[in-house]
Structure 1
Amino acid sequence: MLDNLSPLRKPNKLTEIITDKIREMIEEGVLKPGDKLPTEKELCEGFGVGRSSVREALQGLEYMGLIESRPGVGRFLSSDSDVLLNSENWRLTLDQASVFELMEARRILEVSAVELAAQRATDEVIANLENILDVMREVMDSDMDLFFEKELELHLALAAACENSVLTELINSLIRKVSKHSERFLRTLPYTFERTVDQFDAIIKALKEGDPVLAREKMDEHLDLVRYALGKEKGHEE
C-alpha cells in the first residue's frame, strides 16, 4: 500500500492535495472499505509532508464519513465509502454544471415532487407550509433577508412533502445551488415578493385540494419567475 505514496509538491492548498491523493487511492481500489489506513507518520513519510497537513486532511475525510477513527487501533476506511464517494462525485457534478443546467434539472424534479405532494401531504405538513408562508407574508415589506430564508425553507418543505427521500435529496441540492444565483436579481424586481407569496399560496391550496395537476401547474409558474431572474443575472454578467 505504501508503494502508492510518493512525495508531493507543496502548493498553497497542500491539505486538499493530500485529501485528493487519499481519495484517489480509494477510487483506484488501493484502499478498500474496511482497510486500515497507514499511520500519520507513515503518510507523512510517504507524501513527504508535515504531520499537521496530514492530520487536517484525515480529519476532513473523517468529517465526510470516508474514514472512521477507532481509539487505540487507528483509522479505517468506512464500510460505505464507495457510496459516499459517489455522493461526493454528485456534488462535483453540481459544482461544474451551468446554472441553467441546474435550473432545468430542478424544474423537472420540483414540479414532479409537488405533484406527488398533492397526493401525499398530510394536514400537518400543509399546516407547516402555511405557517412558513405566513411569515413570508408578514415580512415581505420589512425584512428581505428573512423573506428569502423562509422562501428557501418553503421550497425544501415542499420537496420533503413528496415523501420520496431520493427525490427530496436531489431537489435540495439543486435548490441550494440555484438559489444563490437567482436571489440577487429577485430582490431587485418590484413585484417579486407579492407575486412569490401569491404563487406559493396557490401551490399550497392545490395541495389542500389534493389536485396534483394544479399543483404542478402552479409550481411551474413560480419557477418561471426564478428562471427569469437567472436570465437577468446572465445578462448582467455579460
Structure 2
Amino acid sequence: MNDDTPELGSGKPREVLDAVAEMIVARGIGVGDRLPPEIELARELGVGRSTVREALRSWQSMGIVTRNKGAGTVLRAPISAQSMQFPLSISLEAQSLMRTLEVRRPLEVDSARLAAVRADERQRHEIMTRMYELMDALDSGADWRPQDHAFHAAIHEATGNPLYKQLVDQLQHAFHAVYEAPFGEPQLGTDSIPLHRPLAEAIRDGDPDGAARIMNDILDLVEKATQSKIGDTDA
C-alpha cells in the first residue's frame, strides 16, 4: 500500500471513495485524467475488486467519473478540498449532493408543473393526503423522510410519465448508496418541509406556475442547507 493511500476499515463504498478521493488529491489527478485500474486500487486499498467496482459505479451515476473498457475510469468532475478547515470527505459529499440536486431540480419543477395540469381527482386527493402525513411527521418530531418520499412519488405519479419517478429514484439511489444520510443528518432540509403544504395546494388547485415556483423555493432551501455545512463551495 502506498504512503498516500489511507488504510481502510470496513471497506464500505463511502470509505473506499473517500480513500480514492484522497489519492486523487495527493497525486494531482485532474479532470480528464485516468484513475488507476480497479485491480490496482483494490490492492492499494486492501479491499476486493468488486468493492472498488461498486464504489466507482456510484461515482459514475453521480457524473464524477466515466467508465468504459477502452478508456478505463476517467475523472469528469474536479475533486479537491474546498477549504483547509473542512475534511476532504465532507467537501466531496457536499459536491456530490449539489450535483444531484442540480440534475434533480428541473425534473422536480417540471413534475410539479405537469401534476398541476394533469392530476385527476384521485391523484389530487392522494397528494393532499401524503402532504398531511408529512406535516404530521414533522410536527411529531419523527423522521419525515419516508413521508417526504411518498409525497414526491405521488406528484411524479400524477404527471402521467413514469420516467420522472424512475430518474429521481436513480439519482437518490446513487447518492444514498454512498451516503446514508447527508452529513450524518437524516433530516437535512427540514426548513423546506412547511413549503410542501402550499405546493400540494397549488397542484390541487391546478396552478402550474405556482407549483413550479414553490418547488424551486423548496430546492433552494435544501441547497442552502447543504452549503451551510461547508460554506460557499464556490469560494
Matching of residues 165-204 of structure 1 within 5 Å: 165-176=162-173, 177=175, 180-181=181-182, 184=185, 186-187=187-188, 192=190, 196-197=193-194, 199-204=195-200
Are 1:213 and 2:209 an aligned pair? Answer: yes
Residue number among 126, 133, 136 corresponding to 2:134 in the alignment: 136
One-letter code aligned to 2:217 = E
TM-aligned CA deviation for residue 235 of structure 1 = 3.2
Amino acid aligned to 1:180: A
Secondary structure of 2:140's aligned partner = coil
The one-letter amino acid paired with 1:92 is: Q
Which residue identity is paired with 1:115?
A: R
Distance between the aligned counterparts of 1:111 and 1:182, measured in 2?
Answer: 25
Q: Is the 8 A contact 1:116 1:212 kept in 2?
A: yes
Query: What is the alpha-carbon distance in structure 2 between the residues aligned to residue 211 and residue 126 of structure 1?
Result: 12
Question: Shift of residue 182 of structure 1?
Answer: 7.4
Say if 1:175 and 1:161 are closer, same or farther in 2 by CA, change over 3 A. Answer: farther
Please give the alpha-carbon distance, in whole angstroms, between the structure 2 residues aligned to 1:112 and 1:91.
26
How far is the alpha carbon of 1:228 from its aligned partner? 0.9
* Secondary structure, counterpart of 2:147 in structure 1: helix
Match of 2:101 in 1: 103
* Whole-angstrom CA distance in 1 between matches of 2:118 and 2:171: 22
Residue aligning to 1:94 = 62
Q: Is the CA contact 2:199–2:214 (under 8 Å) kept in the aligned structure 1?
A: yes
- Between 1:155-164 and 1:209-218, the stretch displaced more is 155-164
* Aligned residue in 2 for 1:162: 159
* Structure (1 or 2) with the greater helix fraction: 1
Quote the Cα distance in structure 2 between the aligned partners of 1:150 and 1:91: 27
Quote the Cα distance in structure 2 between the aligned partners of 1:160 and 1:119.
13
Cα displacement (A) at 1:14: 4.5
Equivalent AA in structure 2 for residue 230 of structure 1:
T
Shift of 1:100: 1.5
Which of structures 1 and 2 has the larger relative contact order (alpha carbons within 8 angstroms, sep 6+)?
Answer: 2
Inter-partner Cα distance in structure 2 for 1:168 and 1:185: 21
Secondary structure (helix, strand or coil) at the match of 2:160 reads coil
CA root-mean-square deviation: 3.7
Task: State the SS of the aligned residue for 1:140.
Answer: helix
Letter in 1 for 2:231: G
Asked if the contact 1:185/1:229 (under 8 Å) is kept, the reply is no
Aligned counterpart, 2:110? 112
Amino acid in the other structure paired with 2:212? R
- CA distance 1:138–1:166, change in 2 (3 Å): closer
Counterparts in 2 of 1:56-67, with a 5 A limit? none
Larger mean CA deviation between 135-144 and 228-237 belongs to 228-237
1:227, distance to aligned residue in structure 2 (A): 0.9
Q: Which of 1 and 2 has greater Rg? A: 1
Q: Does the residue aligned with 1:157 lie in a helix, a strand or coil?
A: helix
**1:10-61 Cα distance to aligned partner (Å, 9 max, x none):** 95654728x96xxxxxxxxxxxxxxxxxxxxxxxxxxxxxxxxxxxxxxx9x
Given residue 227 of structure 1, which amino acid in structure 2 is its aligned partner? E
After TM superposition, the score normalised by the length of structure 1 is 0.54
1:231 alignment partner AA: Q
Q: 1:236 to 1:218 in 2, by over 3 A?
A: closer
- SS in structure 1 of the partner of residue 139 of structure 2: coil
Output the CA distance in 2 between the equivalents of 1:133 and 1:118.
15
Shift of 1:174: 2.5
